[in-house]
Structures are given as C-alpha cells and as structure tokens.
Amino acid sequence: MVLKLLKKERLLSFLERLMQKFLLVAPVREGNLTVYRPVKAAAEVAVDAPKSVVPPKEWFFPQTEEIYRYATSKENLVLEENVLAPPAVLFGVRPCDLRSFQVLDAVFLQEPADRYYAARRENTLLIGMSCNTACPECFCTAYGISPLKGTGADIHLTDIGTAYLVEALTPKGEEIVLQDPEFYEEKVAGIDEALRAKEQALTAEFAVQVAVTDLPAKMAALFNHPYWEELSRRCLGCGICTYVCPTCHCFDITDENRGNTGKRLRCWDACLFRDYTLHTSGHNPRHALHQRLRNRFFHKLKYNLDRYGIEGCVGCGRCVALCPVNIDIREVIATVRGLQV
C-alpha cells in the first residue's frame, strides 16, 4: 500500500491528470441533488457533496441500458451486442457504496458473469472518499464498514483538513499514484490518531446504533409473523427504496421495436411493484403487498447472506431518508431482533 498526502489545492490537477486517460465519473450537484455522472471539467466535481440519492452503482448498472440491437428479416437475424465500457475513473465513492460493489459483484460476476457489468467494473478505477459528515440515517458501522476506510477502492482519499490522505490500495491504484510523484507529499505523524478521533465523532452522529447479530436466524423464524402485514399497512408499494438502494440489482428486459429493427433494453425493476412476479396466467406468488415488502427485507437481511455470504444492506440510510411513510430498516432490524420467536 502506498500512503501519500495530496494538498487540497492540488486535487483539481490530480483530477485533470486522470481525465487525460480516463472518463471521469464523479459527484456533481444538480439543484439540491448529488448525482454521479461523467464530467467535462474537473471543476464540476462536487467533492464535499452530500450523499447522492441515486447510488453510484448506476455507473456499473445503469437504470436503463441497451444490451443489444436486433434486425430481423424473413431469412436473417442480426444481433449486435452493445457493451460500453470506456476506461473510466469513478471518483468520490463513499465507503458504504464501496461495499455495495462487493455485494453487486457477488451477483453479477458469479458465473455466468454479466458481461456489461463485468466490462465496466474491469475498466473502471475506483477512487473512494471518506465521509466528512454523517447523515442521521447512516448506520454503516452495523456492517463493519468504517466511514473512513476505502475497502474495495483502488485509491482512497480522506480529508484531513488542508490535505487528503491518499491510500493506494491496489496495484492499479499504486500505478496511478506513483506516476505523478510531484503531486504528493509524504505522510506526517499523528494522522492515525486524528483519524480515529474523526471516526468516533462521525459515528456518534448516527441517530441510531444498529446491531445485526443473529438477525438471519431470527428472520427465518419470523417469516409468518403478523409484523410484516402490520408494517406493510403504510407501505405505498412504490419503488423508492429499491431504486435508491446501492445493492438492489433486480431488472427487467424489454424490447423497443421500430419495424424490423429494435433495441433490447435492461431496466431496473422493483420487487415492490405489483407486476414484478405476476405470471402470465394471472397467478402471483407474491400477490399481497406484505409478501413483497417482506421479501425485500428478507433479501437484504437474510437471503443475500445465505446465498452469497455477504449482507444485502450496507447501512447507507438512503431508503430510511427517502421512504415517504417512514418504513425504516433500522427499526425493522431492531423489531425483528426483539420479537419473540
């Protein structure tokens, strides 16, 4: 691992240098929102922007993507695959979202690997950014994530006042850092203690401390508990929690047709939607809203762990902050852990 310091005033040149070789995808401000998108100039990057509503998974798994085009005629069928994966840097990814890529990797890179996701993942250099502030809805530490650690990133930056601590965590990251030694200064003593203090201060801002011990076993025993129906009474059945979730990966595949040619698209889908599991026959295995809501929580808190060995929640708090009727996964976790089996 290479450790350096990057003076804050040099960040812009650091980004511009990256832009010579890579497409820079970074947080920018659009009105009151933070969104990750390709930037034309490094100055557009909103380094200290609050957490994005739509998580940066969007870069690897866009809400709508053309997977191939087709042209049909009586004798012929031509399929033209469309895998877009330019060399890119995804900059400013928060530790919770960095973890989400490990969760998504388990799904999309498992054999047979998803070519679109795999290609973009491979061609993207990940630069993480420690959190400077915590939202009251954050609870990443419940999953062993530190808001100041860049696990999963190639390079990770942490604001230490006048400079960023730069950690190159992979050979890919080291190469980038070592190619421009003039940008950096050597790490000075005392930083580790300062970071520990900062971590404590940040996590103290979490409104709720969440513990997930024994949760999957507890969930399994409570599948038929009336709690899920009670919880679903206020659920709107909209797709907010799934669309802002950094680990939700469900999608639909549809055609957009123009005569004999068209595009096959992959679009995000949400397990809360009525037609998500609807069979052609009209039978719906999860016809009731409480079944769909329960499935979502089971997926996040149990199924993902059972299937891939990694929790399906990263504690980013987006669903908590954005649910219009205050369905709060932190409360769900605490309630389930407290229910009598």
Partner 1 sequence: MKEITESLRREAARLLNEGVELFIGYAAGTRPACARPFFVTKPEEVTGLVFDPFCVPNLVKYILRHADKKVAVVVKGCDRAAVDRLVAERHLDRARITLVGVPCGGMLARERVLAELGPNPRIEAVEDRGPSFVLRVRGEERTFEKRKFLMEKCLGCTRNNPAGVDVMVGKEAPPVADPEYDPLKEIRAIEALPAAERAAFWEKVFGRCLRCYACREVCPACSCTECTFEQAVPGWQQGATWISKAKSLPDNYHYHLIRAFHVAGRCAGCAECERVCPVGIPLMLLNRKLAADIASLFGETEEDPCGALCVYSLADPDEFE
Partner 2 sequence: MKVANPLLPQPATIIDIIQETGDVKTFRVVLDDPDAMAAWRHRPGQTAMVSVFGVGEAMFCLASSPTSRDWIEFSIRRAGKVTTAIHQLEPGAKIGVRGPYGNSFPVEAMRGNDLLVIGGGIGLAPLRPLVNFMIAPENRKDYGNIEIIYGARSYGDLCYKEEVFRTWPETPGVTVWTTIDAPEEGWEGHVGFVPAYVAEIKPAPENKFVAICGPPVMIKFTLKELEKLGFKEEQIYTTLEMRMKCGIGKCGRCNIGAKFVCRDGPVFNLAALKELPPEY
CB of 240 to partner 1, least distance (A): 5
CB nearer partner 1, residue 70 or residue 183: 70
- Distance between CA atoms of residues 73 and 24, nearest Å: 41
Instruction: Give me the residues that bind partner 1 (CB under 8 A), please.
Output: 30-33, 35, 53-54, 63-64, 135-137, 205, 207-208, 230, 233-234, 236-240, 242-244, 252, 254, 256-257, 265, 267-270, 273-275, 320-322, 324-326, 328, 330-331
Output 179 or 260, the one with its CB closest to partner 2.
Answer: 260
Contact criterion met (CB below 8 Å) for 77 and 266 = no
Strand order in the sheet with 261-268: 77-81, 64-72, 261-268, 251-258
Residues that bind partner 2 (CB under 8 A): 67-68, 70, 72-77, 79, 81, 83, 107-108, 110, 112-116, 118, 122, 223, 249-255, 257, 260, 262, 264, 266, 269, 271, 276-281, 283, 285-286, 291, 295, 298-299, 302-304, 306-307
Compare residues 177 and 319 and give the one whose CB is closer to partner 1: 319
**Closest distance between partner 2 and the C-beta of residue 43, in Å?**
35
Q: What is the DSSP string of 222-284?
A: TTT-THHHHHHTT----SHHHHS-SS---EEEEEEEETTEEEEEEEE--TTSTTSS--TTS--
Contact 47, 89 (CB under 8 A): no
Find residue 306's DSSP bridge partners: none
Tokens of 129: 């950014």
Report the partner that residue 268 touches, choosing among partner 1, partner 2, none (CB closer than 5 to 8 A by kind): partner 1
The distance of closest approach from Cβ of residue 148 to partner 2 in the complex, given in angstroms and rounded to an integer, is 32
CA 242 to chain centre: 11
Strand pairing category for 64-72 and 23-30: unpaired
- Give the nearer residue to partner 1 in terms of CB position, either 130 or 232: 232
Q: Are residues 7 and 185 in contact, defined by beta-carbon separation less than 8 angstroms?
A: yes
- Amino acid identity of residue 251, one-letter, is F
Q: How far is the CB of 71 from partner 1 (least distance, A)?
A: 18
Pick between residue 17 and residue 290 the one whose CB is nearest to partner 2: 290
Nearer to partner 1, 66 or 180 (CB): 66
CB of 115 to partner 2, least distance (A): 4
| Smallest gap from residue 266 Cβ to partner 1 (A) | 9
- Sign of the Cα pseudo-torsion (168, 172, 175, 176, in order): negative
The secondary structure of 174-193, three-state, reads HHHHHHCHHHEEECCCCHHH
